[in-house]
A and B are shown apart, each in its own frame.
Chain A
């Protein structure tokens, strides 16, 4: 009798130690590859400062959504907003929090790597296969100072499903009716022309190897590899060079009440680069499921808050564009809406 009482007491003490005093909280997240370097840096910094470990697996946006759906991770990450149709297959309502912005650039392989100007309809026609040569009249007319060769274009696209492709095709569908009906928007597409490379390195490698090659990669990737990329005409008629500033600037628009409905592609912002996007973290709106301890939920929410505030200082060092103030405000509202047993987690 006495012995069993001692045993129970010991057990309770052990449990208390594990929950409260041990303070070794470990979170698991999975998803998008594009923001992975940024997240890794943030999680590392956060662990140093607050002792919360995060295990983040960059398995792709689709994978991140699936893992959250199956409740195998604490949070998911995705470059694309989950479609309304796809959201129905989740077991519970979830929230999407914008984390950082990025953009997609059009890179090419031409002698001397000139800086080209392109318009939306030219970009659409290149990737539809309608424009076949580099010395096409429309490109020459836009770039009178560049000597364009009579080389055939080789379109290079992603062969793996990717958020980059989703953003790029979302942009093309907005600026070209032809693209919208013939190809559409998605992470994987039925490409009318071209060859596919796996990941940003695959596309970049093929463009570098193929004379006359043209493809799309994330801005960070073009910057890190010194690849030339085109100035793109935005909605207000200005030719914009993609940069961290012009990516953040693309978000300088009226942010709708539901921030997930904001689209930075073909943005109205006068100085914004038109192929820009946010990347998102996904968490369930009600966190009291599967016996998740409250301490863990609180730690996670505090960390995400930190990522959208203090964490933003690491964005530009790593070539990501910071969240604009208006979007941070929206993110705060979303984070406050996360509950544990009906009560908000963050005050």
Chain B
């Protein structure tokens, strides 16, 4: 009870301290902060659209990749290897992924994913940056995998055995049982896990900064360099000299806070609705 109150108070306090610290920027930037695409510290023009788009693109692409992977892992661990040595090893491995510091992920991204993406880019004739939105998304997918896969496995192993046995006894093949009985039953739980992990993808800073290319112009090119809200703050905060500049970075933090909250609420609504079906 006390903890609950403390957390709510803290959350509100964070919101208001962000609001307070960014008030000069809120006034100076106006509404253009949300709609404009220019980020120019030289002329004190601060508009956040490139970072918002960058954040949403990396997170959503990561989400798609992570969903596919975590479904596969969830079925493997929840259906085929529920216990035994291999299951134990696999479960520990997935859980260990969650404990790796994000700067280490950044290095893995820099040394393995960047060259790999560069090979793809060269093959399809895109500029061979290696770094970029897709590389970040790939990295993020692996970073959020432990969360979504653990919940997915948990949900799949919770599917009542009589349901599956009934399907099998009616002549369904094992794969039909998984696709038509197990997965639909566990759907809301799996989706919930994925949406929970989206929170980490939205706010992830260090690893993304290392591989996204940090280009502050508006882009929808998934293979090209971009930037996210969290990484622009990490990059520019320490050297932001003018008050408006500093305030604008805090305004980005405020916006990220609002977006994360909205996505979390939307996620809850989706999960509730699917659970009701």
Contact = CB atoms under 8 A, between A and B. Distances in A.
Interface of A: 59-63, 65-66, 86, 89, 152, 154, 159-162, 183-191, 194-198, 202, 205-206, 209-211
Contacts of A209: 114-115, 130
Contact of A198 (B38, B114, B214): B214
Nearest to A151: B128
A62 B231 CA distance: 18
Contacts of A89: 243
Given A152-B127, A210-B129, A196 B235 contact: yes
B238 A160 contact: yes
Contact of B239 (A63, A152, A190, A196): A63
Given A206-B131, A210-B128, A60 B239 contact: yes
A191 B227 CA distance: 13
A185 B42 CA distance: 7
> Closest 3 interchain pairs by CB?
A161-B239, A196-B214, A159-B214
B127 A154 contact: yes
A133 to B, nearest CB: 12
Given A159-B235, A196-B215, A190 B40 contact: yes
A186 B42 contact: yes
Interface string B4-44: 00000000000000000000000000000000001111110
B215 A62 contact: no
Interface string B242-258: 11010000000000000
A190 B238 contact: no
A279 to B, nearest CB: 14
A195 B129 contact: yes
Contacts of B40: 189-190
A82 to B, nearest CB: 9
B225 interface: yes
12 contacts: A62-B240, A154-B127, A160-B235, A161-B41, A161-B236, A188-B236, A188-B240, A196-B215, A196-B216, A196-B227, A202-B210, A205-B110
B203 interface: no
A63 B213 contact: no
Contact of A188 (B41, B129, B130, B217): B41
Contact of A62 (B42, B216, B238): B238
A322 B161 CA distance: 78
B103 to A, nearest CB: 11
Given A65-B241, A160-B235, A210-B128, A187 B225 contact: no
Nearest to B127: A152
Nearest to B130: A209
Contacts of A197: 214
A125 B252 CA distance: 32
B179 to A, nearest CB: 42
B247 to A, nearest CB: 13
A196 B130 contact: no
A59 B237 CA distance: 11
Nearest to A185: B42
B48 to A, nearest CB: 14
B249 to A, nearest CB: 10
B209 A159 contact: yes
A198 B227 CA distance: 13
A211 B129 CA distance: 9
A89 B246 CA distance: 14
B129 A190 contact: no
A86 B239 CA distance: 13
A206 B115 CA distance: 11
Interface in B96-115: 110, 114-115
A60 B238 CA distance: 6
Contact of B38 (A66, A183, A190): A190
Nearest to A190: B40
A189 B42 CA distance: 6
A197 B131 CA distance: 10
